[in-house]
Amino acid sequence: MIRMPRSSTLSSISLLSLIIFLCTFVPRVQPAHADTEYRQAMAKAVRTAAKSVLPSVVSVEIVGTAQGPSGEVEQDAPTSGVMIDAEGYVLASSIVVRRPAASILIVLPDGSRHAAKVVSRDYHRDLVLLKIETTKELSAIEFPATLDTRIGKTTVAVGRFGSTASPIISRGVLSGVERLDGVALQTDARVSAAFYGGPLIDLYGNVMGILIPAVAGGAGSDPTGWYDSGIAFAIPSDVILTKLERLKSGTDIKRGLIGIASKTKDPYDDGTEIAAVRKRSPAEVSGIKAGDEVLEVDGKTVRRHQEIRQALGRFDAGETIRIKLRRDGKEIDITTELAETIPPLQPQRLGVLVSELNGELNSEPDREEQADKDVTKVVVNSVLSGTPAESKIKAGDQLRKLGDAKISSVNVLRSLLMSAEPETEVVLSITRGGSDETVRLTPAMVAGSSLMQPPKDWSDTEPGEWVTEELKLPDSGNAAAFVAPKPAEMQQDLGLLVLLVNPSGGSPMEVLENWSEAAKSAGVVICAVAPEDSRRWQPKEINAIGNFAAAVMKKAPINPNAVAVAAPGAISGTDAEAADSMALAVAVSQSSTFFGVSVSPKTRSPAMRVKENDPSASLQILLPLSSEKDLPEWSLAIKKAGYPVVLGGDTDATALLNWVRLLQAI
């Protein structure tokens, strides 16, 4: 509590002070310095620009959302919007519809509130079109058809804030264009929740775009995670202008999909060869084939798969684009209409462990491959028992073609099977003992199938000496430890399991004591990671977990496809806790690192955006269940996005670890 001053102190000073306080009306000299003049002129210009759009800027309030908050920004935070015409249409950020709400209210500049209906959504650009019914005169915002997007140009974010819907502004510069796969402008204005849906303008009052909450790539599932961070995004006005009629007609807009899988595992590697074409996708319909090389997308030259992605990013479903390809040395042009959805992947497998051999082809070069300088051979190391490959394929076979598609790398073979048609026989061209043969077999579904047994040569290899060490990464506060073979041991193609420790689940070193024997005999390196905060896992730790996996992969000969993340709940008879939800979130948002995830079926589904499974970075989910009917509700959404759910039955540590290492099987 505050200790009160004694009254004697008060009375002794009060009179004198009062006199002095009242005597301070001496006029101050205005310091008319150059920097002051500049700042004041800028303030005036910013205000003038903002005032030219403010009559069209409204506040959007959400009333009665059904769930508690998730993420730092409250889910029912008031945001902004703009009136696009005099009819009552209001464009806002789709954050206002991210949870079902009893009502969405538009607060007009005069303070009046109006209930809004959702007309349509642009899922591709995170915008929503709302409509209010009113007789009031509404001031429409103007979207220019052409934009001056010189980087460094002054920008002003404009919104409304607080219970009085007062104007709020933040000044910055244009930091970038075509961000978020080609859809958004970037600015360094300090944009917080209140600004979302408001306009980003220039100093002349031209509307450059509408601000949206967004984070890039795997930076976490909460799109508001980057508020006030010097990085904010806006959908450019010229693009909005071309979408408004469609949105007004009540048609939702979605991102356009094409359905090709990349040959290179890393999209930033050189090369645009297509490893596989998705079934019933626009790519298949328009005649794109596995092995084609993409040269141009809509007139834009592309050299890497990331550039294809960037060039396609701006297009909506239903839009037609031109693609220039190279096939067998000839250039061909194809037009294709992008689709809203592609039937989900139903990954298949043969049941083989393969590796790549590089070098000159043998005495008799394959006639079809003569033009090709790329001489990587995909060779079978072992065939797993109880799989379609058993008795059809032998160790030592070279796998050359699957149907018409050339198997030019292990990754290509994997992608082809990931996107193969279920229960359909395939023709495999192989070379066995120097002669070419064809083998017919029907691959098996990855989903649902029970666990495979590891090949004999794995269990025959002497594991040698394994040691447990602590692991510290410079940028993370997580305690971690890993158990792995000593560097001198000569094992290959080990698995890696990143095991997330529950809050208050003990130190990583202690946790690994129970796992080290099983790890050694299964040939799976285990990295146990504890949460930074001893009470909970936080979404911001997702990236750190991916970094731990990458760090451990440098320390042992781990097959990059046999990498999984799991929580203690993956073992039958263990309860679901915080680590289970976290493992699921990590796997889905770091899908290029993790090829498997195993958690308890009772896991509480984390707040995450489930991305489509990607054939070139395919993730599978292991649950310790025996029957499909015990599957948790959240697994349905996961299956729909093309992730196979594998039933492990009564899963113990050994079964889990064998599954991890066998993630490299195709």
Partner 1 sequence: MNRLAAITLTVLLATSVSDLQAEAPLGTWVRDAQKCVVKIYGAGGLKGLEAYQSGFLVSPEGHIATAWSYVLDVEPVVLLDDGRRFESKIVGFEPSLELAVLKIEATDTPFFELKEEPTVDWGDPVIAVSNLFNIATGNEPASVMQGTVASVTDLNARRGTFKTPYRGKVLILDLIANNPGAAGGAVIDSDGQLAGMLGKELRDSTTGVWLNYAVPANALRTTIGDIIAGRKTTVIDSATATLPRKDSHNPTALGLVMVPDVLETTPSYIDTVSTGSPAARASLRPDDLILLVNGQRVDSQRTLRSLLRTIDRRDNVELTVQRDTQILPVTLQP
- Helix (H/G/I), strand (E/B), else coil: 428: strand
Q: Which amino acid is at 290?
A: A
Query: Is there a contact between 203 and 49 (Cβ–Cβ < 8 Å)?
Result: yes
Q: Does 540 help bind partner 1 (rule: CB under 8 A)?
A: no
Among 16, 145, 371, 490, binds partner 1 (CB under 8 A): 16
Q: To the nearest whole angstrom, how small is the minimum distance from the Cβ of residue 625 to partner 1?
A: 30
Closest alpha carbon to 125 in 323, 317, 307: 317
- Helix (H/G/I), strand (E/B), else coil: 545: helix
Q: Does 3 help bind partner 1 (rule: CB under 8 A)?
A: yes
Identity of the residue, 77 or 608, whose beta carbon is nearer to partner 1 in the bound complex: 77
Residues 444-503 touching partner 1, rule: CB under 8 A, are: none
Q: Does 152 help bind partner 1 (rule: CB under 8 A)?
A: no
Q: To the nearest whole angstrom, how small is the minimum distance from the Cβ of residue 155 to partner 1?
A: 13
- As a whole number of angstroms, the distance between CA 319 and CA 313 comes to 12
Choose one: 101-109, 247-255, 313-321, 623-631; the region binding partner 1 (CB under 8 A): 101-109
Q: To the nearest whole angstrom, how small is the minimum distance from the Cβ of residue 23 to partner 1?
A: 9
From residue 80, how far is each of 83, 146, 227 by CA, in Å?
10, 24, 15
Helices (H), 229-361: 237-248, 282-285, 305-312
Q: In what order do the strands lie in the sheet with 293-297?
A: 300-301, 293-297, 320-327, 330-337
Identity of the residue, 29 or 488, whose beta carbon is nearer to partner 1 in the bound complex: 29
Residues 44-83 touching partner 1, rule: CB under 8 A, are: 44, 46-47, 50, 61, 63-69, 72-74, 76-78
Token pair in block for residue 549: 């996996």
Residues 192-221 touching partner 1, rule: CB under 8 A, are: 192-194
Q: To the nearest whole angstrom, how small is the minimum distance from the Cβ of residue 42 to partner 1?
A: 7
Q: Does 290 help bind partner 1 (rule: CB under 8 A)?
A: no
DSSP state of 85: S
For CA atoms 651, 524, 267, 263, give the dihedral sign.
Answer: negative
Q: To the nearest whole angstrom, how small is the minimum distance from the Cβ of residue 253 to partner 1?
A: 25
Q: Does 604 help bind partner 1 (rule: CB under 8 A)?
A: no
Residues 225-254 touching partner 1, rule: CB under 8 A, are: 227-228
Closest alpha carbon to 656 in 531, 521, 506: 521
Q: To the nearest whole angstrom, how small is the minimum distance from the Cβ of residue 161 to partner 1?
A: 5
Q: To the nearest whole angstrom, how small is the minimum distance from the Cβ of residue 62 to partner 1?
A: 8
For CA atoms 156, 157, 163, 164, give the dihedral sign.
Answer: positive
Among 52, 109, 113, 491, binds partner 1 (CB under 8 A): 113
- Helix (H/G/I), strand (E/B), else coil: 355: strand
Q: Does 30 help bind partner 1 (rule: CB under 8 A)?
A: yes
Binding characters for partner 1, 131-150, by CB under 8 A (x = yes): -xx-----------------
DSSP state of 344: P
How many residues bind to partner 1 according to rule CB under 8 A?
A: 80
Among 92, 119, 141, 169, binds partner 1 (CB under 8 A): 169
Q: To the nearest whole angstrom, how small is the minimum distance from the Cβ of residue 60 to partner 1?
A: 12
User: Which residue carries 């540590």 as its tokens?
Assistant: 653
**Alpha carbon 357 to chain centroid, angstroms:** 33
Identity of the residue, 227 or 594, whose beta carbon is nearer to partner 1 in the bound complex: 227
